């Protein structure tokens, strides 16, 4: 079965970085990791530019990812996350060469 993988590149406003990380851990990471089909959900910070971050997501199937994106809490919190960003997020859907 093909997994769904996303890399979401974020440029967080420097003044919003601490609050963004706190909310992201509490709302996005904690909730997403409890969802069926979530195999990996992490927020990474660029070593030389801490305001540049990447969300790494691996879902057991495209359907699991679709279910995640349709969660009521996601619709509530995504606009709050985007308000902390300096630029629109770059979302990359990835496919393993091993699939």
pLDDT band, very low/low/confident/very high, at 99 (cuts 50, 70, 90)? low
Residue 38 placed within a domain: yes
- Residue 60: its pLDDT value, please? 95
pLDDT band, very low/low/confident/very high, at 95 (cuts 50, 70, 90)? confident
Q: Is pLDDT above 80 for 98?
A: no
Q: What is the pLDDT of residues 14-25, one digit of tens each?
A: 999 999 999 999
Q: What is the pLDDT of residues 46-77, one digit of tens each?
A: 999 999 999 999 999 999 999 999 999 888 88
Residue 69 placed within a domain: yes
**Residue range(s) defining the domain that contains residue 56:** 4-94
- Residue 63: its pLDDT value, please? 94
- Residues in contact with 58: Cβ distance below 8 Å, sequence separation at least 6, in sequence order: 3, 4, 5, 38, 39, 40, 41
Q: Is pLDDT above 70 for 86?
A: yes
Coil, strand or helix at 30 = helix
Residue 31 placed within a domain: yes
Note the pTM of the prediction, 2 decimals. 0.90
Measured CA to CA in angstroms, residue 2 lies from 30, 33, 38, 59, 63 at distances of: 24, 19, 13, 9, 10
Residue 51 placed within a domain: yes
Residue 11 placed within a domain: yes
Residue 99 placed within a domain: no
Q: What is the CATH number of the domain that holds 27?
A: 3.30.70.100
Averaged pLDDT score across all residues of the chain: 93
Q: Structurally, how many domains does the chain consist of? A: 1
């Amino acid at each position: 079965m093909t997994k769904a993988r996303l890399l979401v590149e974020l440029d967080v406003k420097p003044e919003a970085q601490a609050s963004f990380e706190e909310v992201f851990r509490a709302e996005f990471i904690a909730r997403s990791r409890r969802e069926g089909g979530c195999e990996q959900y992490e927020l990474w910070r660029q070593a030389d530019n801490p305001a540049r971050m990447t969300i790494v997501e691996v879902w057991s199937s495209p359907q699991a990812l679709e279910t995640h994106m349709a969660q009521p809490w996601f619709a509530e919190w995504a606009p709050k996350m985007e308000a902390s960003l300096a630029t629109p997020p770059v979302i990359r859907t990835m496919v393993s060469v091993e699939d």
